[in-house]
Structure 1
Amino acid sequence: MRPVIYNDVLAAVSVVAGHPPECRATVATALIREADLADAYRQAQGAAHPVFGDGSLVTAALRHGRRGPVSFQCPCGLAAWIAVLEALAARAARRSDQDRICACGGPCGHSIP
């Protein structure tokens, strides 16, 4: 997946919030998987994936029609934020297990002063 910025997360949260609570974690994980798949395709083929896009999370999210609230003041929206952030954290943990370098340039799991 391409580097994640706020708009990527916001788009994913909107999609996740449009699903029932019991589906949110699965939907968040699926969006991230689609972005990962698209990015691998983009790197191998030099072009965007024909279905999942360019490898960004926002592009993966925008292909889904369901939308829901993204407000922190709405329990549904807040739960969607948590589901997306937990899915991203799980992905980061898996990648750090593989000795990847985090976006800040250091090894994942280090402490930042």
Structure 2
Amino acid sequence: MRPVLHGDISTAARALLAAPLADRDQLSTLLISEAELADQHVARTGRLHPVYGNGSLMAAARSRPLADEPSFDDLQYCQCFEMVLLKLIRFQIKQSRS
């Protein structure tokens, strides 16, 4: 996966916010997997992945419906933002161990 910036996190959180509550945990994991898959595709072929884009988390998230970006007064948005951060931490720990 390409380096993760603030916009990647907020876009992924917006994708989670647009999804049903029961689907968010699985979707957050899936978005990271799709970004990683796309990054590997770009490295191998030199071309964008046809669905997930350039290997960024933002591009993977943009392949799904996005909620309008709320402010941090929105508790559900904060929870989605936190979920993305926690999944990224787990992903990075897993990558550093392998």
Q: TM-score, normalised by structure 2?
A: 0.91
Structural RMSD (CA): 1.3
2:8–2:56 CA contact under 8 A, matched in 1: yes
Runs of 4+ in 1 over 6 A off after TM superposition: none
Q: Secondary structure at the match of 1:64?
A: coil
- Taking a change above 3 Å as real, the CA distance of residues 55 and 12 of structure 1, as seen in their structure-2 partners, is same
Unmatched 5+ residue regions in structure 1?
A: 99-113
Structure ranking higher on relative contact order (CA contacts 8 Å, 6+ apart): 2
Which protein shows a greater Rg?
1
Question: Mapping of 1:1-113 within 5 angstroms?
Answer: 1-67=1-67, 69-98=69-98
Unmatched 5+ residue regions in structure 2?
A: none
Q: Distance in 2 between matches of 1:78 and 1:48?
A: 31
- Equivalent position amino acid for 1:41 in 2: H
Q: Distance in 2 between matches of 1:72 and 1:37?
A: 30
Percent identical residues: 33
Q: TM-score, normalised by structure 1?
A: 0.80
Q: Distance in 1 between matches of 2:31 and 2:52?
A: 9
